[in-house]
Amino acid sequence: MSTLSIKPFREENIYATLQIYNYYIENSTATFSIEPITNDEMKNLAFSGLKRFPSYVLTVNGSVVGYSLLNRYKPREAYDKTAEVTIYIAPEHVGNGYGQKALDHIIEQAKELDFHALLAVICHENTESIHLFEKNGFFKCAHFKEVGEKFDRILDVLVYEKIVS
């Protein structure tokens, strides 16, 4: 039986998480990055340098199957009680419930860190992510029409919010 573990992101996880993120860059609109990123860029995404914004890896039998981040929403003090949630699951592990477990974990961490609001920024095409966040109490608070371009298409961006405090 495979057991999912969620642990703090460490430098040795950069390569595995980079493979996951670059897959989504090249094959989906889950991210609006266009070009694959480097190890150093992944390191910058995972390690903000701010203790308040942690990152985690999801592993099964020691292999990385995904990662989650609490990101700074904006670099102004007035937004310090708000975080953006990022979750990526390796494509071969989608559908195993790991996204739900990652979201449960990140919500609990946000509460422990005294966040008030969580935001999820999602392309309108990403119906699986929309469903995950909606079933966990996130509500659509913004719909930006035609603000991103990828794969020669103009795309909408939705923002979902959950008050956690």
pLDDT at position 93: 96
pLDDT at position 22: 98
pLDDT at position 2: 75
Block residue for tokens 């477990």: 101
* Cβ–Cβ under 8 Å, residues 55 and 68: yes
In angstroms, rounded to a whole number, what is the distance separating the alpha carbons of residues 95 and 18? 20
pLDDT at position 89: 98
Would the pTM of this model clear 0.85, i.e. be above it?
Answer: yes
**Which residues fall within 8 angstroms of residue 127, CB to CB, at 6 or more apart?**
none
- Domains in the chain (CATH in brackets) are 4-163 (3.40.630.30)
How confident is the model over 26-54, as a mean pLDDT?
94
pLDDT at position 1 over 70: no
The DSSP secondary structure of 40-98, one letter per residue, reads HHHHHHH--S-TTS-EEEEEETTEEEEEEEEEES-SSGGGTTEEEEEEEE-GGGTTSSH
pLDDT tens per residue across span 43-84: 999 998 888 999 999 999 999 999 999 999 999 999 999 999
How confident is the model over 122-147, as a mean pLDDT?
98
pLDDT at position 125: 96
pLDDT at position 143: 98
Block residue for tokens 């340098």: 49
- The residues that bridge with 71 in the sheet, in sequence order, are 84
